[in-house]
Each structure stands twice: as structure tokens, then as C-alpha cells.
Amino acid sequence: MIVAAAQTVPHQQDIVKNLADHCRLTVLAAQHGAQLLAFPELSLTGYERERARQLAFTPDDPRLDKLRGLAAMHNMIIIAGAPVQMNSLLYIGAFIFMPDMSMGIYTKQYLHTGEEICYASSFAYNPMLQLEDETITLAICADITNPRHARDAAKRNSTIYLPMIFYSPAGIGQAHTLLSDYAKKYHMAVLMSNYGGPTWDNRASGGQSAVWNNRGELLATLGSGGEGLIIAEKVHNSWTGRIVKTV
């Protein structure tokens, strides 16, 4: 089984360019055999707060059709982040495009300080994903800082923990330590995607998207800047990781 995480350089508020990058990286992941590809937090818009409502997607947004089609074409689960408008509330969400053309939504459960001004949190949208023999739990950024989130994933028998984040250079080391500890404590492989370029009023991102095996050992990590893919492969119950850089 092969799963992948994309590290992207976001185009702030430019959904057309961000979608084009998603499509290009999806094709690249397919060329490397990926059955799942996850992008960072709010990847379709870049990280946003104040302008999030103007940039928001709805579940039936036609702009999502390209990703829905690519999921079917490449028999791949694609997970892309965006502000999601549902029932008059705005969430930090992730669209989950399935190979059978169906779609799910995950919403961030634990908001970072200040996000509550623009976004609502919810535990209602928390689908578990199945891929071959693996059970996958999603997480968005500050979710990982609440120990309950990873603990709940373990209670649901998750074997892969999938955080999609926007972490700064100052915080990414702490995120690595936290995710390695979760992997070791709960015997879950962890695959994390972060931005590799500035976003939200040109604030720096920390990059270093990475994968850990279910013993907490770091298998592969991208650099602190630029885009690329982390490819994680499981063969005979053993995980390996490698990076794919883009030009």
C-alpha cells in the first residue's frame, strides 16, 4: 500500500492556481503509485481567517469537480483543505474525494486561539477512512495539540494518523516531537503535510512534511521550503518513506 502527503507553496487567495497545483501534484502522486494523497490545512485557498468566508466552498461547489474526477481517474483518495460553508456556519474543513466519485468532509475539532472569531468547530464531521487493511483518522493542525484527538483515534483502532497542518518554522520541531510520540504510544503510522511557503499575510511556513512508522521512527521528511511529496509504502507490515521533489 502506498499513501502520500503533498507539501505545497500556496497562492494566497488564488483558488485557480492552487487547484492547478493540486491537480499537478495528484498526477505526480499517481505516477508513484499513491492510493491516497493529503494536502495541508486550507490548501485550496491558503491559510485564511478574515477573508475565509468570501473564499469558502460549499459541499456541492463545482470548483471541486476536477479533484473529484482525478480521484476516480487515478483510483485515489484525495484530501484537500478549504473553508467549508455548511448550515450558515464556516468550518476549517477537508474535502475527501473517493475513487467512486463520492465525497466526505472532515472538520477541525480543536481551533487555534483566534480562529474561533471566524470559524466554528465541530465533532460531527469525523469520517474514518478504510484503505486495504488500514484505518485512517484525519487531523487538522491544532487538533494534534489536544492529546484527546490522537487518543480517540487509537480508541477507534486507527492504524494511520493523517495531520494536515500550517505550522511555522518556530513550531514545526515541536510538531515533529508530538507526532513521533503519538506514533510510538498508539502504534499508528503518521503522515503529515505542511506548507512549504508563506501564507496568511506572508507569514512563513515551516515545511518539513514527514512520515513516521508505528514505532515513532522518522522515515522521511521534506525540507523547510518548497513543494514536493512524501511517499510512504507498507510492505509485509513494514513502512518505508521517501521524498519526491518537484522542479
CATH code for the domain in which residue 175 is found: 3.60.110.10
Sign of CA dihedral 73, 75, 81, 85: positive
CB 112 within 8 Å of CB 118 = no
pLDDT digits (tens, 9 = 90+) for 15-26: 999 999 999 999
pLDDT tier, 86 (very low <50, low <70, confident <90, very high otherwise): very high
How distant, in Å, are the alpha carbons of 46, 75, 130 from that of 68?
A: 20, 11, 18
Domain count along the chain: 1
Coil, strand or helix at 21: helix
pLDDT digits (tens, 9 = 90+) for 18-61: 999 999 999 999 999 999 999 999 999 999 999 999 999 999 99
pLDDT digits (tens, 9 = 90+) for 119-165: 999 999 999 999 999 999 999 999 999 999 999 999 999 999 999 99
CB 67 within 8 Å of CB 81 = no
Task: Look at residue 165 in the predicted model and tell me its pLDDT.
Answer: 98
Which cell numbers in the block locate residue 55?
A: 473564499
Task: Look at residue 247 in the predicted model and tell me its pLDDT.
Answer: 67
Instruction: Tell me, rounded to whole angstroms, the distance of Cα 155 from its chain centroid.
Output: 21
Q: What is the DSSP letter of 142?
A: G
Task: Look at residue 73 in the predicted model and tell me its pLDDT.
Answer: 98
pLDDT digits (tens, 9 = 90+) for 163-191: 999 999 999 999 999 999 999 999 999 99
- Taking the C-alpha atoms of residue 82 and residue 40, their distance in angstroms, rounded to an integer, is 10
Domain that holds residue 195: 2-245
For the chain, what's the residue count?
247
CB 53 within 8 Å of CB 118 = yes
CB 232 within 8 Å of CB 221 = no
How distant, in Å, are the alpha carbons of 153, 203, 241 from that of 219?
A: 21, 28, 5
Q: Where are the beta strands (DSSP E) in 108-180?
A: 129-131, 134-140, 160-164
pTM, two decimals, is 0.98
On average, the pLDDT of the chain sits at 97
